[in-house]
């Protein structure tokens, strides 16, 4: 890419960075658990409240960007995010923390819903894959920096620091973003389907909550509500002149399967950021700063994978990169499964790096293929769709993998195993499952074009 283009991308990259920097919060999980006297499974709500909010709003935010201008919605999201970060540092209790995580999720939806569209708009269509690679590398860089910064900040200032340190980034990006060009659209402004948006938000939220609450009886009621809202959204979308998303896309060969594959691979990959911090702190006995450094290996691999993926998609096609990404992700996760109290740090780092590189390759190829499938005028929705399927994977992992780990550990403790052995056995079983999942989607990926 030409240097002027890279400079134009700076406010998008800096503004987007605030969202993946949330990986710093994962390092703070043990400190948050201790500060509020929580059981380990309760920490999932710190993830769920945030991810469920931005996940349910994502497509609507992307559509707003397509209609009113991606730069305008992006700037509003930055301002909202800066305020939410400051509020998070002042919360008096756990319930208030969760409320502010919801507010943070609104800002993240506005930023992520328009970020990919802004990135691709700055470059010719022939450079789409490279533009997305730069954007994806930025996201991965944030996920890499997050654990490193989190380890230092938590140790020095407490868990609140993983929130307030991002406010200056949001404000700096807001100032720089005034120079982002507004896309000109010919003809009258397309309508925003408010009814469809409400039904979609309700459908996504109840689906995610149903997954989260399984196998409790309330999950059945939530699932029924989700089905009803989803049916209403489909009905509305077929009658709206310009729906939130064109559902006919999912009838195209392989498109629905591709999105399902991304949700599954993300589900498997999030096991790292969700569960590995507890191994590194409780079993490996690493200091918070070193823990962050080791954990950052996974997103660092993702950054490298995204950068390589931009070139690989152009040369080998998206299907080959999707398959390679899934295989590497599986290999890394399966390499984590046999970790023990005596596993050397270089082995920990290697497994995390391989998993991260695979996820980076996969995500880049997936995003490029979805973006290529949809209209240029719908780039906000396209970028939002890629984030939404990722969200399904993250919420599913935060809910089901913590449930699996907890149930398995409890059963082993009941059988008389020592706490360390019970955790390691449950940890290994969970990562064996996570490692198998990317391999199970290979038949879906082999059908993809490109």
Task: Kindly state whether residue 450 falls inside one of the protein's structural domains.
Answer: no
**Which of 42-46, 206-210, 358-362, 366-370 shows the highest mean pLDDT?**
358-362
Task: Kindly state whether residue 230 falls inside one of the protein's structural domains.
Answer: yes
Task: Kindly state whether residue 227 falls inside one of the protein's structural domains.
Answer: yes
What pLDDT is stored for residue 33 in this prediction? Answer: 87
Which CATH number covers residue 53?
1.20.1250.20
222 & 285 share domain: no
CA distance 373 to 391: 20
Query: Domain boundary at 208, 239, 270, which?
Result: 239
Instruction: Tell me which residue of 16, 440, 49, 52 sits closest to 268, measured CA to CA.
Output: 440
What pLDDT is stored for residue 412 in this prediction? Answer: 92
Would the pLDDT of 75 be above 50? Answer: yes
CB 132 within 8 A of CB 119: yes
290 & 213 share domain: no
Question: For residue 12, what are the domain limits?
Answer: 3-193+240-445
pTM (2 d.p.)? 0.78
203 & 93 share domain: no
416 & 318 share domain: yes
What pLDDT is stored for residue 1 in this prediction? Answer: 47
Mean pLDDT of 1-10: 59
120 & 164 share domain: yes
Task: Kindly state whether residue 330 falls inside one of the protein's structural domains.
Answer: yes
Mean pLDDT of 293-308: 87
229 & 247 share domain: no
Tally of CA atoms within 13 A in the half-sphere of 221 that contains its CB: 3
Q: Confidence band (pLDDT; 50, 70, 90) for 234?
A: very high
Q: Cis (ω within 30 of 0) for the bond into 95?
A: no
153 & 279 share domain: yes
> In the chain, pLDDT over 70 holds for what percent of residues?
96
Q: Confidence band (pLDDT; 50, 70, 90) for 423?
A: very high
Task: Kindly state whether residue 348 falls inside one of the protein's structural domains.
Answer: yes
337 & 231 share domain: no
Number of domains in the chain: 2
CA distance 155 to 314: 43
Mean pLDDT of 247-262: 86
Would the pLDDT of 288 be above 70? Answer: yes
- Residues with Cβ within 8 Å of residue 125, at least 6 apart in sequence: 376
Query: Domain boundary at 222, 239, 256, which?
Result: 239
For 111-120, 123-132, 146-155, 193-202, which range has the lowest pLDDT when averaged over its residues? 123-132
For the chain, what is the mean pLDDT?
86
Between the CA of residue 421 and those of 284, 348, 432, what are the distances in Å?
Answer: 13, 18, 16
147 & 294 share domain: yes
Q: Confidence band (pLDDT; 50, 70, 90) for 438?
A: very high
C-beta atoms surrounding 348 within 10 Å:
21
For 42-56, 120-134, 319-333, which range has the lowest pLDDT when averaged over its residues? 120-134
CB 353 within 8 A of CB 168: no
Mean pLDDT of 119-139: 77
340 & 399 share domain: yes
Task: Kindly state whether residue 306 falls inside one of the protein's structural domains.
Answer: yes
Task: Kindly state whether residue 11 falls inside one of the protein's structural domains.
Answer: yes
What pLDDT is stored for residue 9 in this prediction? Answer: 77
302-318 residue pLDDT tens = 889 988 888 888 888 88
169-179 residue pLDDT tens = 999 999 988 87
309 & 322 share domain: yes
Task: Kindly state whether residue 205 falls inside one of the protein's structural domains.
Answer: yes
Query: Domain boundary at 239, 264, 295, which?
Result: 239
* Residue ranges in 18-69 assigned as alpha helix (H): 23-27, 29-36, 44-68
205 & 259 share domain: no
């Amino acid at each position: 890419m030409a240097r002027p283009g890279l400079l134009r991308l700076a406010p998008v990259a800096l503004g987007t960075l605030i969202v993946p920097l949330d990986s710093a919060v994962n390092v703070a999980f043990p400190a948050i658990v201790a500060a509020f006297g929580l059981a380990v499974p309760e920490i999932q709500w710190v993830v769920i409240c945030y991810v469920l909010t931005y996940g349910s709003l994502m497509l609507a935010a992307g559509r707003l960007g397509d209609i009113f201008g991606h730069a305008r919605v992006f700037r509003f999201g930055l301002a909202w995010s800066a305020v939410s970060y400051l509020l998070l540092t002042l919360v008096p209790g756990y319930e208030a923390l969760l409320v502010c995580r919801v507010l943070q999720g609104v800002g993240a939806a506005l930023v992520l819903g328009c970020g990919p569209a802004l990135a691709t708009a700055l470059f010719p269509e022939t450079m789409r894959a490279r533009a997305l690679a730069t954007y994806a590398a930025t996201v991965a860089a944030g996920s890499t920096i997050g654990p490193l910064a989190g380890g230092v900040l938590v140790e020095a200032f407490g868990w609140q620091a993983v929130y307030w340190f991002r406010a200056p980034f949001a404000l700096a990006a807001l100032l720089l973003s005034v120079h982002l060009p507004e896309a000109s659209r010919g003809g009258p402004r397309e309508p925003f389907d408010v009814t469809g948006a409400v039904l979609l938000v309700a459908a996504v939220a109840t689906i995610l909550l149903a997954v989260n609450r399984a196998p409790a009886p309330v999950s059945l009621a939530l699932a029924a509500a989700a089905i009803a809202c989803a049916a209403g959204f489909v009905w509305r979308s077929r009658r709206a002149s310009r729906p939130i998303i064109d559902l006919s896309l999912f009838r195209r060969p392989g498109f629905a399967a591709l999105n399902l594959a991304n949700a599954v691979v993300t589900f498997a990959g999030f096991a790292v950021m969700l569960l590995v911090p507890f191994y590194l702190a409780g079993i490996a006995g690493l200091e918070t700063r070193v823990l962050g450094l080791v954990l950052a290996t996974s997103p660092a691999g993702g950054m490298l994978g995204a950068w390589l993926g931009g070139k690989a998609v152009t040369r080998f096609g998206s299907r080959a990169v999707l398959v390679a990404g899934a295989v590497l992700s599986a290999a890394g996760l399966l390499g984590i499964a046999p970790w023990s109290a005596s596993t050397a740090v270089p082995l920990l780092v290697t497994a995390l790096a391989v998993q991260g590189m695979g996820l980076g390759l996969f995500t880049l190829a997936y995003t490029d293929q979805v973006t290529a499938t949809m209209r240029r005028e719908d780039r906000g929705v396209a970028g939002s769709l890629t984030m939404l399927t990722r969200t399904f994977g993250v919420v599913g992992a935060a809910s089901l993998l913590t449930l699996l780990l907890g149930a398995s550990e409890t059963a082993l403790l009941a059988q008389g195993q020592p706490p360390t052995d019970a955790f390691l056995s449950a940890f290994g079983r969970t990562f064996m499952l996570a490692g198998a999942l990317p391999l199970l989607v290979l038949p879906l990926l082999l059908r993809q074009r490109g």
